[in-house]
Amino acid sequence: MRRLILMRHAKSDWSQPGLGDKDRPLNARGTAAAPRMAEWLEDWLDKHRNVDMEDSPLVDRILSSTAVRTRETLRRMQEIWGPKVKPQIEWHDNLYLAEPRVIWDTYRKASKEHPDEDCLLVLGHNPGMEILISGLAGEDLHVPTAAIAIFQSQSNAPIGELVPEIESNRWELLTFQTPRRLSA
C-alpha cells in the first residue's frame, strides 16, 4: 500500500513590503511550527509502519515547491528528523501555488518513476493543497499552515487521473494534524 503525505508550508512572513510572494521566508510562528510538525510526523510514521518495512525509510521522497517558505519549512523539518527519515528531495517550480491537478500529476509522475517507493510527501501551497486534501478525504477540511494529511491507497494499482481517484474512494485519510492541535 502506498502512502501519500500532503503538507502545506509553515506560516510565512508578510512584513517585508515589496518582497515577491515566492521569496517570502517563514515568520517566527512558522519557524517554530515546522520542527514540531516534523517531530510529530516522524513519530506517527514510525508507530504506523508496516512490520515488513522496518529497515526502509519512513519517507522515501519529498516533492516540494521552490518557494522560499517551502524550502525553509523543509530545512527546519530536516533539522529534527533522525536517521529513519532520509528522503530524496525534488524541487518543482510547478508546485508553486499549484492547482490540485498539477499537484496530483507531479505526484503521479514521481510514483511512476519510482515504483518501489512506498511513501511520498508533497509540500506545497493553498488553495491547491486544501482542495486536493479535501477531495481525497471526501470532506471539506480547513488546511492551515504546516498542516499534514496522511493518506493510504486502498490498492497497489498504478496511480491514475485525479478525478477517478477521488471518485473511486481509493484513498483513505489516516490522519490530519495541525500545529494548533499539537499545542492543545
Separation of alpha carbons 66 and 46, rounded Å? 28
Model pLDDT, residue 69: 98
Task: Tell me the mean pLDDT in the region 9-34.
Answer: 95
Mean pLDDT of 154-166: 80
**Band (54; pLDDT cuts 50, 70, 90):** low
The number of C-alpha atoms within 13 Å of 16 and in the hemisphere containing its C-beta is 11
Average pLDDT over residues 154-161: 80
Sheet holding 148-153, edge to edge: 88-92, 61-65, 119-124, 3-8, 148-153, 171-177
pLDDT greater than 80 at residue 168: no
3-state DSSP assignment of residue 127:
coil
Calculate mean pLDDT across residues 1-8.
93
The model's pTM is 0.94
Average pLDDT over residues 72-95: 92
Give the pLDDT of residue 169. 81
Calculate the average pLDDT of the chain: 92
What pLDDT sits at residue 132? 96
pLDDT exceeds cutoff 60 at 52: no
Q: State pLDDT tens for residues 115-155.
A: 989 899 999 999 999 999 999 999 999 999 999 999 999 87
Q: Check pLDDT > 90 for residue 158.
A: no
What's the rounded mean pLDDT across residues 148-173? 85
Sorted by where each begins, the domain ranges of the chain are: 3-183
Query: Class of 3-183 per CATH?
Result: alpha beta
- For residue 67, what is its C-alpha cell? 518557494
Per-residue model confidence (pLDDT) at position 51: 58
